[in-house]
Structure 1
Amino acid sequence: MRAAAGKYRQRNSHAIWRAHAESASHPMSEISVSATSTVDERPAKFSASDGTALTGTWFEPSPPRIATTVVVIVCGAGIPARFYHHFARYLCECGAAVLTFDYRGIGVSRQGNLRKLKSGMEDWAVLDIPAAFAEARARYPRLPLGAVAHSVGTLLLGAAPDASRIKRLIFFGPHTGYWRDYGARWRWLLYGVWHVSMPAVTKVVGYFPGKRFRLGEDLPRQVALDWAGRRRPELGRNVEEARRFRLILSRYREIRAKTLVLSITDDAFAPPAAARRVLSLYPHLVVTHETIAPATLGCGRLGHLGFLRRPASEFFWRRAAAWLITPNVGDEPKTTTQAAQSPNR
């Protein structure tokens, strides 16, 4: 897997910004930008093209404020949309209408017996994410479309047929699930959990009981097996999958959004090398890739969910709001253009 990014700039963050002290009792508490709420929250109900009902939440500026952009948040695998709600409120306070949603089988979109759900990650990518984009465009047809993708959601987003409509894009902790891209210190432990234990448990139980093991949400059987099967750098595990994915991967080449990629150095799932593998699939993104060390934000550690938690969340959220909502951020000429190479296999 090797491709060149259209325009690519990578830099380490040496920010002198220091976060407020972490609230131990409210690690996921939001950063408020106003004393009173200026956000209207309402449930979102929409359907994928195969008729599957999906559920999410709209965060919209309260009148007389109006949104200047519409943003869809694409979750990581096994991470329910509610984990992103404080972040969504913050973006809304800054002027965006924001849609969060759960994939089929996850969170509030889970229906019935999970053992009976046959859907996999491909369904999330080619059915559920496009449905969320369609909901956003239908509600705000005249606003520019932005997106925030986290974790393996950064891989799934590109398969959506209409992702080429995205104007502004943010990737938090991007990775493909390929085990050799995990951080070196944790690689074999994560391999054992996600690529050995998870498929074994899934085949016995009929789905992966993530909640029982405190490993995120329960996962549908095929989703768990798709993730566990990422033992090779290529996305296709066999000839049939490789042929099908060739068509899907052609959609990645159509996306030309101005993209901010944020990697955290102690993210075991998605170190910078994992981000480069994701970016190699998107040859025409205009990319600014920032790598942040926890110490630069006054933190001992951040990890894969660090951008959602205080004290570091203030840095990441302000950066995201500026990128998605503020005109001309990210439009400056790129003085350094560099190919995004796949990491060593």
Structure 2
Amino acid sequence: MNRKGKLSLNNPETFDMLLKLVNKKLPEANTMYFGVREDLNVERLLASMESVKEAADIVAEALAAISEKVRKIKPEKLKNMNVEDFSNFLVKIMGPPSTLKDMSMRLQKGIEKRGGATKFIASMASVTRLIEYLLTGAKGFFIVIKQHAFDKEFKEKLKEKEEEAKSLYSYDVIGKMLADEEETPFREGVNVVFTDCFGRNYGFLIPVIIQEFLRTFNEGIIVLDDLPQPDVYSKVIQWIVNRPDEVEGCKLALFVPSAYLPTVEECVDSVRKMVSEKCIVFDMNSDFFHTLHERASATVHAWLYEKFFEMEEKRREGECYFIHHDAFEEVNWEVISLRKGKIERLRGIFRRIF
């Protein structure tokens, strides 16, 4: 639902249109919305705090990634909370950092930027370098103290940050997505969930929805048409991609807009795993191209390079092609056109994938 443009589901008319389409094509589907909006005429999905507890490891890691007050959160802290406790905890860690915490985090970032603790220790070999390092750090400390103590505009921004945290994570807001009760919102059959929680503010809850589904069914297929904001939730993406390996009977299909993925290790590993056995590729960020062929022969590399070039030429002529990969088929790679009469071929591919 975070997609922009005319077809963004943040547009009420577009949402209503898609909802009608789902109801028409999947009349028996259990359709729900997960998020904080109140203007949608659809049943609300409430995930259980039990799912937060079961996904505590990744939720804690995700929260630490977006917090300006803490760098690490112990998963155990999340395992004995009710919704109100969780809300209070979120307000606390998502607020502005204190002066000392701000100093500490800026120093840590400075150390990381200069090469980490190893480089810092190495600098001690030179008195000149050590003095330079400490003076630069001291300058940063004075900037922090000055901002927190005397800069009126900065203090106002801190106040705004505090109010924003209260607004985003109050009990009334979090209570629209989480419940203390363990009553499952999912039913046998097809469950369709609309959510606008893929962004920074609530992306840490995507694993909770998935865990809620996996708690309900021993086997199931999860289809996601988006991923949590990659620049801050790369580890969450990795967690999602690993579900089929770690949960028996779980199958996963993802639509991945690779152009928006940062080339950090977690995302590269995730893409590598996503394309290793079965995938359909319409286009791909060139930074991830190697994941398609790194375990294949040089001829496959050359074939893929040539086919992407041909696909782009065809696209400019108004045709749509994609590359289909299935490691379990005799022909591992093929290019398929979506010209008239080829839709059944695509449907057959999806049936084989699942």
Same fold at TM > 0.5:
no
| TM-score (normalised: structure 2) | 0.31
Larger relative strand fraction? 1
Bigger-Rg structure (1/2) = 2
Higher relative contact order (CA 8 A, sep 6+): 1
TM-score normalised per structure 1: 0.31
More helix by share: 2
